[in-house]
Amino acid sequence: MPGTVGAAMRHACTGGKRLRAFLVLEGARLHGIATGTALWPAAAIEAMHAYSLVHDDLPAMDDDDLRRGQPTVHIAWDEATAILAGDALQALAYELAARPEAGSEATRAALALSLAQAAGARGMVLGQALDIAAETAETPLTLDEITTLQQGKTGALFEWSAMAGPRMADADPAPMREYARAFGLAFQIADDILDIEGDEKATGKRVGKDGAAGKATFVSLLGLETARARAAELANAACAALDGYGPDADNLRAAARFAISRRT
């Protein structure tokens, strides 16, 4: 089992779009941080995201058997391995963000602190808790409640990723935060659309689960066309937040547009 936990951690980190790492790397490049330095927080956020998926897929949580086109960790191994692999991936995230290679002591203290706040009970875990609670709630969530849920579940790590570059450069993180906030919501609306229109082979995960569970989504609340329009507006707002960076930020703009056109 000990070697097993390492294997399960690697399994959980395989595949995926690496979108959060991309946000770290592009945000760092925009602020003059070397890629070799930025790779450490980029790896950190992918470890954090992987942990959240492993625990979210557990039977007591979302109970999913397919993720990134592979069996989930508790299916490929067992629940104890999935709990421990997730726990160790969370620890690994802080280790990667705090290692000397990630920058000055001030940078690493700031990265570790902000990462803990993004991942914890007021960030990602809050989003997960709202999501689980929604499954058994008597009334479906409102648009405001779903927005809060998603800002925790997806938004907190998106914002941390986008803000890592300015944090490492001691620059104003506000434009990147605004970009990430709009991008994260656009991404999540697109996710809800994919849950209706996507196919499992392309997305690598089960689709149609939210609708089948009667969960309120952006699509169920707004309707498909309005949801699509809202996602496009948000993608535009994300791009506009980057105006100050000029054409250097074109990769980030392309990512925001990709978020709403993706099939996976």
Given the rule CB under 8 A, which residues bind its own copies? 1-2, 4-6, 9, 51, 55, 58, 60-61, 78-81, 83-84, 86-88, 90-95, 97-99, 104-106, 108-110, 112-113, 115-117, 119-121, 123, 125-126, 128-130, 132-133
Q: How far is the CB of 24 from its own copies (least distance, A)?
A: 18
Residue type, 234: L
- Show the tokens assigned to 247: 């054409």
Is 45:102 a contact under the CB 8 Å cutoff? no
Closest approach of its own copies to the CB of residue 184, in Å: 19
Q: Which residues, listed in sequence order, are joined to residue 70 by a DSSP beta bridge? A: 67
- Minimum distance from residue 28 beta carbon to its own copies (Å): 18
Cβ proximity to its own copies, 128 vs 203, nearer residue? 128
Distance CA 87, CA 9 (A): 10
**Which residue, 60 or 254, has its beta carbon nearer to its own copies?**
60
Q: How far is the CB of 104 from its own copies (least distance, A)?
A: 8
Cβ proximity to its own copies: between 39 and 129 the closer is 129
Q: Count how many residues are written for the chain.
A: 264
Task: Choose between 72 and 81: whose C-beta lies nearer to its own copies.
Answer: 81
Q: Is 14 exposed, middle or buried (0-12, 13-18, 19+ CB in 10 A)?
A: exposed
Q: Tell me if 178 sits within 8 A of 163, measured CB to CB.
A: no
* Cβ neighbours for 179, distance < 8 A, ≥ 6 positions apart: 162, 238, 239, 241, 242, 252, 256
- CB atoms under 10 Å from CB of 201, counted, come to 9
Nearer to its own copies, 123 or 166 (CB): 123
Q: Please tell me the distance from the alpha carbon of residue 261 to that of residue 264, in angstroms, as a whole number.
A: 9
What is the rounded distance in angstroms from the CA atom of residue 80 to the CA atom of residue 109? 32
Instruction: Please identify, using beta-carbon distances, which residue of 216 and 241 lies nearer to its own copies.
Output: 216
Least separation in angstroms between CB 51 and its own copies: 8
In whole angstroms, the minimum distance from the beta carbon of 10 to its own copies comes to: 11
What would the two tokens of residue 65 be? 């058997």
- Read off the amino acid at residue 66: L
CB of 233 to its own copies, least distance (A): 28
Strand extents, DSSP E, the chain: 66-67, 70-71
Pick 3 or 246: Cβ nearer its own copies: 3
